[in-house]
Amino acid sequence: MIDAWRRTLFLLLVLAQTAAGTWGMIWVLPYHGTRPVEIAILATFIPLYTFITAGSWMAIFGFLMRRVSGRGDRHGLMRRYADQWPQAPLASTAVIMPIYHEDVDRVYQGLRATLISLLETGESDPFEFFLLSDSRDPEIWLAEQAAWRSLVDEFGLEGQLHYRRRRVNLKAKTGNVSDFLRRWGSDFRYFVVLDADSVMSGEALTTLVRLMECDSRVGMIQTVPRLFNARSAFARMQQFVTHLYGPLFTDGLAALQRSEAVFWGHNAIIRTEPFMRHCGLPRMRGVGLWRGAVLSHDFLEASLMSRAGYQVWLETGIPGSFEESPPSLDDELIRDRRWSKGNLQHLRHLLAEPGLRVAHRFALLNGIFAYVASPVWFLFLVFTTIEVARFKLGDIDYFPDPDALYPAWPQWHPEWALLLVTSTLVTLFLPKVLAVLEVLIFDRERLRGFGSAPRLVQGFFLENLFSVLLAPVRMLAHSIFVVTALLNVTVRWAGQNRGNELSWRTAMARHVPGAVLSLAWTGGAYLIDPYFFFWTLPITVPLVLAVPVTVGLSRFTLGQRWRRKGIWLTPPEAGRDDPVLERFQPDAVAPRPGGESGWLLWTLLDPTQWRQAAAHAPRRGGLARRAAQRVAEDWITAGPDGMPGQRAARVLDDIEAMRRVHEYAWRGEVADPWGRLAERYARHVCTGAEAAVGRPGISTDESGGYAS
């Protein structure tokens, strides 16, 4: 009943404002929407205006919910079981972190902070951690194993912290999670999914398990990850946005979705048995874009869980859930390219998948239009340009209907245009203003997390300035992504950049074409009508400035300078957030190989490392064994640096191949490249020139099992 009246009220408000905005646009158009181009303008305006109106009203719902019910919905999961969940028992839970060519230091830092926080609760026994790697580069996965082994030794987590690397990484992240569930899912009642940049406190993990124990009908609980550890100016801006505006939007979303919320793919807990039974995603059998593996799996998995009769909750009241932001707009757009294609795939499920709840169909539709909105906006600009050009440069047909007795006079209503622009700006910026007022008036404790009232207001205006500058850049990029997705252009996905700034050359290659296009458009607008030229400037100026703006915002030095000045300060930086962030050490580094070369050569040359790797080498025979031994002979002939790493790593597949390389290097003459390499390693070990090195870990065995 609560769901129905909330959603009905929300829908009525959105439709009423959209109708008013559409009526205003009709009166702005000279022929009031009766000509083909004007119909096209309305066809693009209506969904765009509906989209921004829905977002605005959702934030207003969140603001009212927070003011009326306190922080969080009184009908939410935590409030419903407020007397039960603190005393609920814990149950067996796996915490899994799928990774693929990620920054090993960042994975090590985040996992270490999470482990320390959980161990400090004294309730870590029901939890086991799994680092699930799909990495193909041997230097990366050997580094991953070293980091894992170091954590096991540091905290005494033998048998509780595991590492597994798949030899064949089918279906990317979904395949990795599915592989884990097939092997070990039955051992755990729940599992928590983390991303490579996730950090969760021990209190958050235990709270999630206890909430699940309170109600067997709950299949998923999604937390709200807040951004932290932002170093570049762009990342700091995104971090400021999530901490200031985020609570209104997430509380509004949770209040409307209720027990039919969505899963965001990480920082969430899942009931294992129904997920394994009901949430498998088979390969699509359509054509083009809708054929093959599903790229964006999370929304669909939540909808399938709900279809099976289980509840899915977005719980905004659980602190201690964090993730990081990409350091630049371009890194964000690289991620968006994959997401845009994955979300467009949902069109098939939106139309054809039976039994999905209405709330989840709206969530799928919203996810699709989040990217489709950009090409729709682009078309809106094209159609308005055509309309102005036709009216200014073409002959006006006063008698489009030959049987008409009176001419059709075009009518201009500038007051309607001004009113429509004003209402659009209010719709866009009202949620942000409410978020600022909430902190300034109602939440003085949160205000201290943003530094002070002047700093908060300064950050608010600065964020809106850069948001206006970046919006057209995102629009053009997302438009290209949607077109390439519809053409089924392959999207490749690897580890995200988390520590590098954007170069001028890369920025120019990506943004100069958009600047040229915008200059041509605004130049044409000036020739058509100088008055229309001024209307194009809010789009053209950001696209022309895209290169310096994106490069500048990617700079870590600028981000740190602004942090010292208190610009875009947020609660995690002010020491007013979860203690787990005190355990996160951004300067901590994973173990490093000794000597000058990388992990692969260190593993084969160092006697201790070699014995560990040899003890866990796959027990293979026949063709696989002979192939590994051929690689060993070819590698010896080519020299230490003469073979690609991925092929050279096949030596690790056979103990005799490993022995051959190891013994050849240490018995070789000094004039031989392998002998010189062994001599350098011996000199390094004997002199202790570098810090002691952690053990690189253990490779997977033939059956794909893991070692701990």
pLDDT band at 413 (very low <50, low <70, confident <90, very high): low
Which of 181-190, 231-240, 489-498, 696-705 has the least mean pLDDT? 696-705
Q: Which residue has the higher pLDDT, 518 or 692?
A: 518
Strand, helix or coil for residue 521? helix
pLDDT band at 71 (very low <50, low <70, confident <90, very high): low
Task: Report d(CA 644, CA 77) in Å as an integer.
Answer: 53
The residues, ordered by sequence, that sit 6+ positions from 440 with a Cβ below 8 Å of its Cβ are 447, 453, 456
Q: Beta-carbon neighbour count of residue 563 at 10 Å? A: 17
DSSP state letter for 89: P
Task: Report d(CA 498, CA 196) in Å as an integer.
Answer: 10
Residue 690 pLDDT:
39
Average pLDDT over residues 64-83: 82
Residue 445 pLDDT:
84
60 CB-contact burial (10 Å; exposed 0-12 / middle 13-18 / buried 19+): middle
The residues, ordered by sequence, that sit 6+ positions from 225 with a Cβ below 8 Å of its Cβ are 198, 264, 266, 267, 321, 322, 323
Residue 353 pLDDT:
85
Q: What is the DSSP string of 475-486?
A: HHHHHHHHHHHH
What rounded mean pLDDT belongs to the chain?
A: 88
pLDDT band at 688 (very low <50, low <70, confident <90, very high): very low
One-letter-per-residue 3-state SS of 94-127? EEEEEECCCCHHHHHHHHHHHHHHHHHHCCCCCE
Q: Beta-carbon neighbour count of residue 499 at 10 Å? A: 12
One-letter-per-residue 3-state SS of 166-222? CCCCCCHHHHHHHHHHHHHHHHCCEEEECCCCCEECHHHHHHHHHHHHHCCCEEEEE
Q: Which residue has the higher pLDDT, 124 or 609?
A: 124
pLDDT band at 339 (very low <50, low <70, confident <90, very high): very high
Is 80 exceeded by the pLDDT of residue 109? Answer: yes
Average pLDDT over residues 159-185: 90
Is 70 exceeded by the pLDDT of residue 699? Answer: no
Which of 189-203, 335-349, 352-366, 484-498 has the least mean pLDDT? 484-498
Residue with the two structure tokens 């007022």: 437
Residue 575 pLDDT:
66
Q: In which order are the strands placed within the sheet that holds 321-323?
A: 199-200, 321-323, 226-227
pLDDT in tens, 563-578: 999 999 998 887 666 7
Average pLDDT over residues 524-548: 93
* % of the chain with per-residue pLDDT over 90: 61
pLDDT band at 531 (very low <50, low <70, confident <90, very high): confident
Residue 245 pLDDT:
96
Which of 27-31, 70-74, 400-404, 689-693 has the least mean pLDDT? 689-693
DSSP state letter for 439: I
107 CB-contact burial (10 Å; exposed 0-12 / middle 13-18 / buried 19+): buried
pLDDT in tens, 430-441: 999 999 999 999
Residue 286 pLDDT:
80
Residue 375 phi/psi, 5-degree rounding, is: -65, -30
Residue 399 pLDDT:
56
Average pLDDT over residues 79-96: 94
Are the C-beta atoms of 661 and 635 separated by less than 8 Å?
yes
pLDDT band at 700 (very low <50, low <70, confident <90, very high): very low
pLDDT band at 285 (very low <50, low <70, confident <90, very high): confident
Is 60 exceeded by the pLDDT of residue 138? Answer: yes
pLDDT in tens, 291-301: 888 888 999 99
Task: Report d(CA 538, CA 469) in Å as an integer.
Answer: 8
Which of 288-292, 326-330, 681-685 has the least mean pLDDT? 681-685
Is 60 exceeded by the pLDDT of residue 708? Answer: no
Residue 410 pLDDT:
59
Handedness of CA 674, 678, 679, 684 (dihedral sign): positive
Residue 702 pLDDT:
32
Task: Report d(CA 697, CA 135) in Å as an integer.
Answer: 15
Residue 655 pLDDT:
86
Inter-axis angle of helices 202-214 and 104-121, nearest 10: 60
Which of 30-39, 198-207, 297-306 has the least mean pLDDT? 30-39
Residue 45 pLDDT:
96
Q: In which order are the strands placed within the sheet that holds 190-193?
A: 161-165, 127-133, 93-99, 190-193, 268-271, 218-222, 311-314
Are the C-beta atoms of 233 and 552 separated by less than 8 Å?
yes
pLDDT in tens, 436-458: 999 999 888 889 899 999 999 99
Q: Which of 662, 577, 650, 645 is nearest to 611 (CA)?
A: 662
pLDDT band at 689 (very low <50, low <70, confident <90, very high): very low
| Total residues found in the chain within this entry | 708
Residue 322 phi/psi, 5-degree rounding, is: -140, 155
Average pLDDT over residues 535-557: 96
Task: Report d(CA 542, CA 441) in Å as an integer.
Answer: 34
Are the C-beta atoms of 299 and 239 separated by less than 8 Å?
no
Are the C-beta atoms of 423 and 24 separated by less than 8 Å?
yes
446 CB-contact burial (10 Å; exposed 0-12 / middle 13-18 / buried 19+): middle
Which of 228-237, 305-314, 543-552, 574-583 has the least mean pLDDT? 574-583
pLDDT band at 70 (very low <50, low <70, confident <90, very high): low
* % of the chain with per-residue pLDDT over 70: 91
State both tokens at 380.
């809106």
Residue 693 pLDDT:
35
Residue 403 pLDDT:
60
Q: What is the DSSP string of 593-604?
A: -SSSS-HHHHHH
Q: Beta-carbon neighbour count of residue 409 at 10 Å? A: 9
State both tokens at 452.
């002070």
Handedness of CA 62, 65, 70, 74 (dihedral sign): negative
Is 90 exceeded by the pLDDT of residue 621? Answer: no
